[in-house]
Structure 1
């Protein structure tokens, strides 16, 4: 169950990254640049570290993962669990119980998917403003603060750090109302990577004995 929550947080988080606080035109220009850059790519493979901190700033969990993107198709692999979508069908596989759940993809405009991470989703549900630039590990980061317009959301603020030179997301930190903080740090970003189409489907033959829960 804990791993399922982490995967769910990743999906919500990856989409929330494209949004933000005060509708600052400078922030919009930066976000638009990220969106334009992503749309020019045929595919993306990104490695990331997920860190969860409790209200006392104590790290309660750290995991590594990889996301594969090609158009609207995606695969998220995170410590024993995978979410795969070919934009028609989605599969959620949990290794420790050897179970896969199958669903139809919701094609509505408001559906959250990792494929929307770098696209212009930010003008709909968030306000945004520029924060101060910082330099980390030799990279200049453009920091943007995002706040949801819907105050019922579990998070009240998101800080997005964008690599100014490459126009790609370097880090995202979500602040939840319960005091928890969830950070996604991109450790490696490979544009136009060679990604086989088979990456975006679930082949049950590769998972002997897998239990299939088909909810279509």
Structure 2
């Protein structure tokens, strides 16, 4: 009987500790969300790395994104993606081609640039993970696991700067072994950017083939 009581006690301690770390993780994520929502706009420079050891694939590049509400302008790998709040424009200078499509948030479950700082609010279980000192900054990691067991994403480690409460990096591991790491190199907020930054002007692309998908 004493052994049974001890086992039950230990189980309750473990459950209590797990609940506490989950609450800590969610509380920190809530702080990040609140801070992101307080900015009029955000401009981010980042490093993007993709690696799959089994397939001997490794690729690194840099990009930048400007965000204002749901609108965004993303530049990466020679391609520009512009979302003006209604339509998505993919501009490919190398092919002199532009794809234009309507955006339906109900159909798109991907982590788009406008969701990249808040995607964790839905569809993930969160738990407290390691703390690391990176370049003099204390980074607290939160482990995110998709609620959907069929998701291609196995887990995500979200690194949060404990002082600024801004996201420092994201490490995504997929079921096929691919690891994607996005590291923020510059994070600016409330910049004097023109509203026209998020407007598509067809006159700028006279020699481009425009593909209207819908």
Matches within 5 A, 1:74-85: 74-85=72-83
> What is the TM-score of this pair, normalised by structure 2?
0.84
Unpaired stretches in structure 2, ≥5 consecutive residues: 1-17
C-alpha contact 2:44 2:66 (8 A) present in aligned 1: yes
User: How well do the aligned residues superpose, as a CA RMSD in angstroms?
Assistant: 2.2
Query: How far off its partner does 1:123 sit?
Result: 4.4
Q: How does 1:1-216 map to 2 (within 5 A)?
A: 24-56=22-54, 60-108=58-106, 111-112=109-110, 113-119=112-118, 121-216=119-214
Question: What secondary structure sits across from 1:152 in the alignment?
Answer: coil
Distance in 1 between residues matched to 2:131 and 2:210, nearest whole Å = 48
Q: CA deviation at 1:59?
A: 6.0
Q: Decide whether the 8 Å contact of 1:52 with 1:61 is kept in 2.
A: yes
Distance 1:184 1:82 in 2: 18
Tell me the secondary structure at the aligned position of residue 33 of structure 1: helix
SS in 1 for 2:122: helix
- Partners in 2 of 1:189 and 1:92 — Cα distance? 24
Is contact 1:204–1:210 with CA below 8 Å preserved after alignment? Answer: no
Residues 1:24 and 1:57: Cα distance change in structure 2 (over 3 Å) = farther
Q: Which moved more, 1:201-210 or 1:45-54?
A: 201-210
Deviation track 1:49-78 (CA, whole Å, cap 9, x = no partner) reads: 100111259661111000100011111110
For residues 47 and 123 of structure 1, do their structure 2 counterparts lie closer, same or farther at Cα, with a shift above 3 Å needed? closer
TM superposition shift of 1:43: 0.2
Query: For residues 59 and 135 of structure 1, do their structure 2 counterparts lie closer, same or farther at Cα, with a shift above 3 Å needed?
Result: farther
Q: In the superposition, relative to structure 1, how do residues 81 and 143 fare at CA in structure 2: closer, same or farther (>3 Å)?
A: same
Under a length normalisation based on structure 1, what TM-score does the superposition of the two structures give? 0.83
Partner SS for 1:122: helix
Structure 1 unaligned spans of 5+? 1-20
CA distance in 1, matches of 2:62, 2:190: 22
Query: For 1:199, what is the secondary structure of its paired residue?
Result: helix
Q: Measure the CA separation in 1 of the matches of 2:200 and 2:79.
A: 12
